[in-house]
């Protein structure tokens, strides 16, 4: 581990007024996205869509790094340039999702464990050799009757810490993503309780595995009401409870925080982040690592048609700019 390399990369990832673009949708997820606009889920259409994203004019004004799916990391653009090389050439750090997805947790109905540790050391060495600067691993925590269990939280946070230590061994900055799902009828207080328990466990495991926090980026969900809750919390309450929770559990020397949007609307995702960044006493950089909140409107405008490329890219850049403004409290 070269701590100076990790800090340099992490600082670039957290550079104001930028955020991290999540474009690492798994094969099933990108299939759903393309199906929503009646476009076949072919490798060529996935490539076309992702090229639309990375070639949007002035993207690097608002985006510091891009999380790629493995297919995209090794894929070439229309002119033969590798996506990862193109991103680096325009000043956007290329990163890669390295987990193998959330699978059923044995003997724990309706709970998940993220897999992918087998062979990870060798994969990480190859990713670093091929230009990756950071990686991402997502854990999934569900709130419902009598869950999450301690087994679900502890096993997922242990896996996140083991992944993070392996990343740093290879001079890759780990993004650790403990997502408390927005799905459900739970209250914001229920979410607060589960998020606190998850973050407490996460940072305990990170310490256990000697993970270097100044070279680590946290990608949490916000403390928020369930999507099906009839009386959802206000923007101000979400921002206030989220920051209070983070201050209680995230050490000040953590490189930064880049929120996932996690099913929020575009307006919710940008408004919550904007209010948080109007606070003057945040101990770490607080920005975004959004997927849908940047891409969804552009995807709908594209419809898989080349003649819609420029208008779709304009929408994407508008969304990226609004998220960028939110990351410095100037929306």
pLDDT digit string, tens, across residues 141-200? 999 999 999 999 999 999 999 999 999 999 999 999 999 999 999 999 999 999 999 999
**pLDDT in the model for residue 28:** 87
Q: What is the DSSP letter of 234?
A: P
Residues 202-238 have pLDDT tens digits of 999 999 999 999 999 999 999 999 999 999 999 999 9
In contact, 79 and 35? CB cutoff 8 Å: no
Low-confidence ranges of the chain (pLDDT < 50): none
Closest residue by Cα to residue 217 from 13, 78, 61, 41? 13
**pLDDT in the model for residue 43:** 94
Q: Helix, strand, or coil here: 288? A: strand
CATH number for the domain formed by residue range(s) 3-326: 3.20.20.70
Dist. CA 200–CA 210, nearest whole Å: 16
**pLDDT in the model for residue 279:** 84
Strand 63-68 relative to strand 134-141: parallel, antiparallel, unpaired?
Answer: unpaired
**pLDDT in the model for residue 296:** 96
**pLDDT in the model for residue 75:** 96
Alpha helix segments (H runs only) across 106-220: 120-129, 150-169, 188-208
- Return the H-helix or E-strand segment holding 215: none
Per-domain residue ranges of the chain: 3-326
**Which are the catalytic amino acids?**
177, 219
């Amino acid at each position: 581990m070269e701590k100076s390399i990790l800090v340099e990369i992490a600082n670039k990832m957290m550079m104001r007024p930028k955020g991290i673009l999540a474009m690492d949708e798994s094969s099933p997820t990108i299939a759903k996205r393309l199906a929503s606009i009646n476009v076949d889920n072919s490798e060529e259409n996935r490539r076309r869509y992702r090229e639309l994203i990375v070639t949007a004019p002035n993207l690097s004004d608002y985006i510091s790094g891009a999380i790629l799916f493995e297919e995209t990391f090794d894929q070439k653009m229309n002119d033969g340039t590798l996506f990862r090389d193109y991103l680096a050439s325009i000043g956007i750090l290329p990163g890669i999702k390295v987990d193998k997805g959330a699978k059923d947790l044995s003997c724990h109905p309706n709970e998940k464990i993220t897999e992918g540790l087998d062979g990870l050391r060798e994969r990480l060495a190859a990713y670093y050799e091929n230009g990756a600067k950071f990686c991402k691993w997502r854990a999934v925590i569900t709130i419902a009757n009598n869950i999450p269990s301690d087994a679900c939280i502890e096993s997922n946070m242990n896996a996140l810490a083991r992944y993070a230590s392996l990343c740093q061994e290879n001079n890759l900055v780990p993004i650790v993503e403990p997502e408390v799902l927005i799905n459900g009828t739970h209250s914001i207080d229920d979410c607060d309780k589960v998020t606190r328990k998850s973050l407490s466990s996460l940072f305990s495991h990170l310490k256990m595995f000697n993970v270097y926090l100044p070279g680590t980026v946290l990608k949490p969900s916000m403390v928020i009401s369930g999507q099906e809750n009839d009386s959802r919390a206000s923007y101000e309450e979400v921002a206030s409870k989220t920051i209070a929770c983070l201050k209680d559990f995230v050490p000040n020397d953590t490189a930064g925080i880049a929120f996932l949007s996690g099913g929020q609307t575009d307006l919710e995702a940008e408004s919550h982040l904007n209010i948080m960044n109007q606070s003057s006493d945040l101990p770490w950089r607080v920005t975004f690592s959004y997927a849908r909140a940047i891409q969804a409107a552009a995807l709908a405008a594209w419809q898989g048609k080349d003649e819609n490329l420029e208008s779709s890219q304009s929408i994407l850049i508008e969304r990226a700019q609004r998220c960028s403004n939110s990351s410095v409290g100037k929306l």
